[in-house]
Amino acid sequence: MHRILSILLIWLLSTAAPASTVQWRFATEDFPPFTYPADTPVNATAGVRAAGPFVEVVTAICARLQHQCTITLYPWQRAFRLAEQGQVDGIFTLAHSPQREQIFHISRMLVTSRYSVFAQADSSFVFNHPDDMTGRRVGVYGPSGTSYVLSERLKSVPDVRFHLTADNRRLLRMLQSGRFGAEGVAVINQDVAWHLIDDERLEDVREAGEMGPISYGIGLSRKTVSAAQFEAFEQALDAAIADGTVQAILRRHKLEAAY
């Protein structure tokens, strides 16, 4: 019996992760084509395993750092709250804002996309300038980086009424069904919108114009990740860009690099 216990102990010690192994937890959201569920629908309580180009980039960086990283998908508000409170170590996709810089170390921007204005298919509305939004009800995913940027860009436009919706799929369905009124529009990431329009078969919405570019990076919690650890993360990311690893991932997913 003693011999068997000794063998079991040796086996456990040989297969256990080194005590010094860093374990990081990341949270993300259902934000296709950047991030999306790997296999099962979103579970608001437990989250699900995430997939997508940002997941592939983070996984590659963790492998270079020899960190053990788990990446779980949650509804955005829950993901952000977990990261803000330091219950997870990182979050993506993350756009820059002064408030977020205080909470997170934010990596260089990895992907550039665009915000676009969408309207009902039978609307004649064309967006060219922020003043075109005067008097309109504007649906937007939020609270989020999108709603923050939109409020900043339209803060001088009179009589704009924002409707925050915590799900991009629901946002586009509301637009199609006329929930924002005859003059209503929605502002959404262009790549996300076209992915969802195709996925949800939304034939009665159309793009009415581009509002401007937006870039996304990766945030690491200042509560759990030191400045030195973040610097090592950035160096590993730079190396993955230099050797073509990141470009290959973005190219495979047909995304535009921000760098």
Residue 14 has pLDDT above 60, yes or no: no
Residue 149 has pLDDT above 70, yes or no: yes
The residues pairing with 50 across neighbouring beta strands, listed in sequence order, are 37
CA–CA gap between residue 114 and residue 64 (Å, rounded): 31
**177 contact partners, CB below 8 Å, separation of at least 6:** none
| Together in a domain, 132 and 198 | yes
Q: What is the pLDDT of residue 43?
A: 53
Helix, strand, or coil here: 196?
helix
Q: What is the pLDDT of residue 40?
A: 61
Which range among 6-10, 130-134, 147-151, 212-216 shows the weakest confidence by mean pLDDT? 6-10
| Together in a domain, 141 and 169 | yes
- Summarised one tens digit per residue, pLDDT across range 175-191 is 999 999 989 999 999 99
Which ranges of 91-206 does DSSP label H, i.e. alpha helix? 98-103, 145-153, 168-176, 190-200
**How many CA atoms lie within 13 Å of 128's alpha carbon, on the beta-carbon side?**
3
Q: Are 184 and 97 in contact (CB under 8 A)?
A: no
Q: Which domain holds residue 98?
A: 23-111+215-253
Read off the pLDDT band of 15 (50, 70, 90).
very low
Q: Determine, yes or no, domain membership for 169.
A: yes
Q: What is the pLDDT of residue 144?
A: 85
Q: Determine, yes or no, domain membership for 233.
A: yes
CATH label of the domain that carries residue 146: 3.40.190.10
Which range among 45-54, 119-128, 235-244 shows the weakest confidence by mean pLDDT? 45-54
Place of tokens 């076209």: 194
Q: Are 193 and 118 in contact (CB under 8 A)?
A: yes
Which range among 38-42, 109-113, 146-150 shows the weakest confidence by mean pLDDT? 38-42
Q: Determine, yes or no, domain membership for 2.
A: no
Q: Are 249 and 54 in contact (CB under 8 A)?
A: no
The torsion angles phi and psi of 49, rounded to 5 degrees, stand at -65, 135
| Together in a domain, 127 and 207 | yes
- Which string of b and e fits 169-183 if b means at least 16 CB within 10 Å? bebbbbbbeebbeee
The number of folded domains in the chain is 2
pTM to 2 decimal places: 0.83
Higher pLDDT, 229 or 9: 229
Q: Determine, yes or no, domain membership for 210.
A: yes
The residues pairing with 139 across neighbouring beta strands, listed in sequence order, are 163, 186
Q: What is the pLDDT of residue 47?
A: 67
| Together in a domain, 71 and 41 | yes
Q: Determine, yes or no, domain membership for 179.
A: yes
- Summarised one tens digit per residue, pLDDT across range 68-115 is 999 999 999 999 999 999 999 999 999 988 889 999 999 999 999 999
